[in-house]
Amino acid sequence: MAKTLGTERHKALISMLIEKREAAGLTQAELADALGEYQSFVARLESGQRRVDVIEFILLSEILKFNPGEEISLVMNR
């Protein structure tokens, strides 16, 4: 399998997550608290240094209140 970090789809996913966090009015630290993680976890995710697994993505969608299926469809079309 090819590397996925830094691909256009990965960049689109990260951009969408940042947009959703900001639209929810949350800081990285507040999102990290909701995830039970440190702020650096969110910073690494948003800077593209780490992947987002499926379970994390679902949890992010619940916290940030977006439809994961719709957003994945948009990323897939990139």
- The pLDDT tens digits of the residues spanning 32-44 come to 999 999 999 999 9
Decide which of 1.10.260.40, 3.30.479.30, 2.60.120.330, 3.40.50.300 is the CATH code for 8-76.
1.10.260.40
Residue ranges of the domains in the chain?
Answer: 8-76
Specify the pLDDT at position 58.
Answer: 97
Reply yes or no on whether the pLDDT at 52 is more than 90: yes
CB atoms within 10 A of CB 61: 18
Give CA–CA dist 35/44, Å, rounded. 14
Reply yes or no on whether the pLDDT at 2 is more than 80: no
Half-sphere exposure of 21 (CA within 13 A, CB side): 23
> pLDDT of 54-74, one tens digit each?
999 999 999 999 999 999 998
Q: pTM for this structure?
A: 0.92
